[in-house]
Amino acid sequence: MNDFKGQTLSWQIVNGVTELALHHDPCNEIGSLTLEELEKFAAALPGLANEAHALIVHSTLKAGFSAGADLRELFQRGQEMEKDAAQRGVREFLKRIHSVMNALDAAPLTTIAAVHGVTFGGGFELALVCDIIIADRMARFCFPELRLGLIPGFGGIPRLKRDLGNAVVRDLLLTGRSFNVMKAQQIGLVSQIAAEGEALRVARATASQVGKFDRRTAATAKAFVKPIPYEELSREIDIFCDLYSRPGVEEGLRKFVENEGVQPYLP
């Protein structure tokens, strides 16, 4: 399937590059519907890899790349189901999202995340599966999960450890603070900084560059330098599910969801 127009995302091939556009208001929160459409994309990926030499993942929404997991849906499901069923549901969701993330991570084509604005939690994790992150100067990154009594659950910790020094990972996780693109480049997370609104254009130029090289060689080099930490990823699911079962998490989610103030995204 070379092109698809969904409710939360769409893709098409442009000049030999697959462009996956996220467009789920208000800020590409990743819930059941987005997961279903991401699974469609992951299923189409082998075919797309035969037609394209690169993948760009980007958002068409002004607010940012993605604010992460759909916490409202997570809270609501927890309220509607018996505790055991809710926990099984969370584990199942995580297994499915991990499957998608792993497929993207291992994709035999060069993958580029073109990010802007809010790139938090699961959204940050989606950017992390890509080979290269290009960010505009208004991008802001965060793993806020500790604020809810959780850890990143979409594969963020093993991938962050893969890419960055442990001291930086500890800082980001344990403070739950957001940081800007200058810091992101300084720590080695972001490859290039674009002017505001220009991340996709810069990503397209980079994708054009990588298209000059033999694809099999590029795929082989990528597989060599980018191991996928499957055991740690599996362990992350177990830890997340264990933490999710604690009573304080429901309360943390409730506070976030029911917050009618202006500050839910601030720590």
Partner 1 sequence: MPATDHILDQILDLAATHFKVPREKLCADDDFFKTLGIDSLQALDLLTRLEHHFRIELPDYELQGVSDFRTLANRIQARL
Rule CB under 8 A: choose which of 63, 103, 164, 241 binds partner 1.
Answer: 63
Q: Does 264 bind partner 1 (CB under 8 A)?
A: yes
Tell me how far, at minimum, the Cβ of 155 lies from partner 1, in Å.
24
Minimal distance, residue 136 CB to partner 1, in Å: 10
Stretch that binds partner 1, among 35-43, 81-89, 105-113, 176-184 (CB under 8 A): 176-184
Cα 163 from Cα 261, distance rounded (Å): 36
| The only residue of 183, 215, 222, 226 in contact with partner 1, by rule CB under 8 A | 183
Task: Give the interface segment with partner 1, choosing from 59-67, 121-129, 160-168, 211-219 (CB under 8 A).
Answer: 59-67
For residue 210, what is the enclosing H or E element? helix 199-210
Give the integer Cα–Cα distance in Å for 34 and 9. 7
CB of 6 to partner 1, least distance (A): 24
Q: Which of 177, 201, 222, 226 binds partner 1 (CB under 8 A)?
A: 177
Q: Are 115 and 20 in contact (CB under 8 A)?
A: no
Rule CB under 8 A: say whether 175 interacts with partner 1: yes
| Using rule CB under 8 A, residue 167 touches partner 1 | no
Residue 231 backbone dihedrals phi, psi, to 5 degrees: -65, -45
Least Å from the CB of residue 197 to partner 1: 13
Of the candidates 27, 207, 1, 70, the one whose C-alpha atom is nearest the C-alpha of residue 10 is: 1
* Min dist. Cβ of residue 82 to partner 1 (A): 33
Binding mask 95-124 for partner 1 (x = CB under 8 A): ----------------------xx------
- Is 262 one of the binding residues for partner 1 (CB under 8 A)? yes
Residue showing tokens 């980018």: 226
Can you state the angle between helices 247-258 and 71-80, rounded to 10 degrees?
120
Which residue from 179, 187, 233, 250 is in contact with partner 1, where contact means CB under 8 A? 179
Whether the CB-CB separation of 141 and 178 falls below 8 Å is answered with yes
Can you state the percent helix, strand and coil of the chain, rounding each to 5?
A: 50, 20, 30
Q: Which is nearer to partner 1, 167 or 266 (CB)?
A: 266
- Residue 185 interacting with partner 1 (CB under 8 A): no
**How deeply is 232 buried, as exposed, middle or buried, from its count of CB atoms within 10 A (0-12, 13-18, 19+)?**
middle
**What is residue 95's DSSP assignment?**
H
Question: What residues make contact with partner 1 under the rule CB under 8 A?
Answer: 27, 63-64, 67, 117-118, 137-138, 140, 142, 175-180, 182-183, 262-267
